[in-house]
Amino acid sequence: MTPKSPPERLLSRLRVVLCRPSHPGNIGAAARAMKTMGLADLALVAPRRFPDAEADARATGAVDLLQTARIVETLDAALADCLFAVALSARPRDLGPPLRTPREGAAELLAAAEAGPVALVFGNETAGLSNAEMMRCQAAVSIPANPAFSSLNLGAAVQILCYECRLAAFAGAPPPKAAPLASPLATAEENAGLLHHLEAVMTATGFYNPAQPGRLLPKLRRLFNRARLEKEEINILRGMLAATEKPTGHGRRG
């Protein structure tokens, strides 16, 4: 048995991703919420105003997290190296990722963090997460709230999840359904590579018509998210796809 990573190390592998935040004050509040719970990795997807004095003011002693925050254009870029991502939404979605409680979601994140970076993904203050953004994640979490008024302030939602993650990290409880992996989990970027490869082959064979996409691609993404593919499995599937592209070849595409 390999020894468990210390809780602090696991917490340092948790990334908080804020998608298109409108209010810099909420970015500061999120940084403060993270630092109080021992998290440090903040990624901002296309923030409307950042850096900003209001963000610094609300962060108080956590301005260092704002200074090291990564600013990216897309959620894909924020999640590229992640092994597992949890979407935060007050509203359950049709065809969305499987729904968890904050406690279950935190336990799953911590279990996946044993192997590498993982993420908590939050939406815009007004619009929340788009369906496409939700589909980039392998699980969804709703914070149980008053059904008549279930939308928390962004910073408050970040605080609750970071707190649950800290409890889970220090409790050291065995993760639910943790099975030994044959090979490490694939990253979001590797999963996206498989989906693109499959799309190209399906288009070339006529199985998929990009002019009439329907819901085929989101459904396949959902299938792969549910499967939590390992690196080796991605290589096998991509090897099969490459073989259909080049029937006599034995090589694999990278």
Residue nearest to ligand SAH (CB): 128
State CA 181 to chain mean position distance: 20
Cβ-contact 88, 151 below 8 angstroms: no
Residue 125 or 199 with smaller CB distance to ligand SAH: 125
DSSP state of 199: H
Query: Which amino acid is residue 222, in one-letter code?
Result: R
Residue 91 or 103 with smaller CB distance to ligand SAH: 91
Residue 87 or 194 with smaller CB distance to ligand SAH: 87
Rounded Cα distance between 65 and 62, Å, is 6
Q: Residue 154 CB, nearest distance to ligand SAH (Å)? A: 4
Cβ-contact 46, 18 below 8 angstroms: no
Residue 164 or 190 with smaller CB distance to ligand SAH: 164
HSE-up (13 A, CA, CB side) for residue 9: 10
Q: Residue 17 CB, nearest distance to ligand SAH (Å)? A: 10
Q: Residue 160 CB, nearest distance to ligand SAH (Å)? A: 8
DSSP state of 15: E
Binding site for ligand SAH (CB under 6 A): 88-91, 122-123, 125-126, 128-129, 141-143, 145, 150-152, 154, 157
Q: Residue 229 CB, nearest distance to ligand SAH (Å)? A: 25
Q: Can you read off the two tokens belonging to residue 110?
A: 């911590």
